[in-house]
Amino acid sequence: AYLGTWGRPDFCPAAGVRVIDVADPADPQLVGVIASGEEYPDSDTDSLWVGSIDTEAFTGDVAVVAVSLCDNGEISRRQDGFRGLAIYDVTDPAKTRLLSTIHSGELTQGVHSVDATVRSDGQVLVAATVMQSLLHTEGLQGDVRLVDISDPMNPIESADWDFRRDATGDDAAEMVTTTDQEQLHAHTVAFTARGERLWVANWDAGAVLLDVGDPAAPAVANWISQVASAEGDVHSVVSDVGMGIVILSSEDLYPRSDSEHQAGWGYQSILDLTGTPISEFAAGGDPVSEGTIVGLDGYHTAHDAQLVDGRLYSSWYSSGMRIVDVSDPADPVEIGFFVPPPAVDPQGYWLAPDGSSRMAMVWEVHVSGDLIFVSDLNSGLWIVRYLGDETGDNHPY
């Protein structure tokens, strides 16, 4: 298991990516660290991809780590510190080595989200988001980057893309001219269709499906611009072509209503592949009604998700990890959950809207076989196993 680190200005542990032996999942052991603060001072490394590749240049396991600046203000971005992608050989997790780096560009804040795929032709393609790159580079480099790492020692950037610059059509043009440009950034990316297409969670612009069959010329294949009753804030996208669904997770950290925000926490929207809404799911209640949902003692918003065999495994910050059966997309049913014990943020950053300092803060969920890996910003890595099918009583974990 590979556990990243999150940081912000004045709260930047720069602990890198912890490499953890989970051969015995009941007794995980730390075996090493990559992309540490010694390598990249003042850095945030909260997104990464690890997988096996077999190309003419390299055979083994690689880790592609997103390195960004904890302080993304202009003064910090003008300094020389590295930000971008760092690629490691982790074939032997106890003896890792840096293979290469690729800088995201001067004045950028670094890579926020990364995904990778091994395509049918053997090409290893990485997608990354460099948030607000288009604005920070005065239009020269878009937020979405495509990088060929078939030779991980010599990564090659194939293209960059940005909704604000490259989306076509009257509707897109109107959104770009009428919406705050910062709210149209690319947030996360996820490959689909065996690496031929790429979902981009484009915050208030919605979700964009890019055709990346030719990685040098990404083109819009679909755009889901409107979500019923949503403020926007599309943080992540998952889809299943066989099921005919796409699920958008909106991250809304501000549950109270004002001129810029609607009432309620962020939630998940289930749509068909054309973008037509089917249903909604929120951990704890009505997705758009303040007061009927979980409360203000933490952050009860959707964040990331993984869709496996008709089940949606999602991170919901203080509402923990939720498992939802979406085999009938019109009737999503929660079948399990795991909420880590409340803990205080060791960096002293997170305080709940009601002032509480002790809470769960589940950031990411990853399903591997019968195990579910749950990372919590405040308390660390949890490894759980879902027992509902075995016991028949919807055991929470």
Convert the pLDDT of each residue in 161-192 to its tens digit. Answer: 999 999 999 999 999 999 999 999 999 999 99
Class of residue 273 by CB neighbours under 10 A (exposed 0-12, middle 13-18, buried 19+): middle
Does the pLDDT at position 260 exceed 80? no
Report d(CA 267, CA 184) in Å as an integer: 19
Sheet bearing 188-192, strands edge to edge: 188-192, 197-201, 207-211, 219-224
Torsion of CA 21, 66, 112, 18, to 10 degrees: 20
Q: For the ranges 58-67, 205-214, 257-266, 281-290, which has the lowest average pLDDT?
A: 281-290
Residue 380 gets the label, from left (phi > 0), alpha (psi -120 to 50) or beta, of left
Summarize the chain as % helix, strand, coil (round to 5).
Answer: 10, 40, 50
344-356 burial, b at 16+ Cβ within 10 Å, e below that, comes to ebeeebbebeeeb
Give the pLDDT score at 232: 82
Beta bridge partners of 20: 30
Class of residue 151 by CB neighbours under 10 A (exposed 0-12, middle 13-18, buried 19+): middle
Asked if 381 and 374 touch (Cβ cutoff 8 Å), the reply is yes
The long-range contacts involving 224-227, CB below 8 angstroms and separated by at least 24 positions, are 224/248, 224/271, 224/275, 225/171, 225/172, 225/175, 225/275, 226/275, 227/269, 227/271, 227/277
Span 378-383, average pLDDT: 96
Beta bridge partners of 322: 314, 337
H-helix segments, 158-211: 163-166, 170-178
Give the pLDDT score at 74: 93
In this prediction, residue 391 has a pLDDT band, given cuts at 50, 70 and 90, of low
Which tokens sit at 224?
Answer: 């889901």
Q: Kindly give, in sequence order, each residue whose CB lies less than 8 Å from that of residue 290, ignoring residues fewer than 6 positions away.
A: 255, 256, 257, 263, 264
CA of 305: how far to CAs of 29, 52, 249, 283, 311, in Å? 26, 22, 8, 13, 10
Does the pLDDT at position 231 exceed 80? no
Residue 107 gets the label, from left (phi > 0), alpha (psi -120 to 50) or beta, of left
Report d(CA 15, CA 79) in Å as an integer: 21
Among residues 315, 304, 314, 300, the alpha carbon closest in space to that of 354 is found at 300
In this prediction, residue 389 has a pLDDT band, given cuts at 50, 70 and 90, of low
Give the pLDDT score at 292: 45
Which tokens sit at 197?
Answer: 């297409």
Asked if 310 and 325 touch (Cβ cutoff 8 Å), the reply is yes
Beta bridge partners of 29: 21
H-helix segments, 100-221: 133-136, 163-166, 170-178
Phi and psi at residue 159, to the nearest 5°? -165, 165
CA angle 326, 199, 157 (to 5 degrees): 150
Asked if 180 and 174 touch (Cβ cutoff 8 Å), the reply is no
Q: Kindly give, in sequence order, each residue whose CB lies less than 8 Å from that of residue 258, ignoring residues fewer than 6 positions away.
A: none
Q: Report which DSSP code applies to 322.
A: E
Does the pLDDT at position 284 exceed 80? no
Give the pLDDT score at 289: 47
Residue 296 gets the label, from left (phi > 0), alpha (psi -120 to 50) or beta, of alpha
Report d(CA 296, CA 280) in Å as an integer: 21
pLDDT in tens, 76-111: 999 999 999 999 999 999 999 999 999 999 999 999
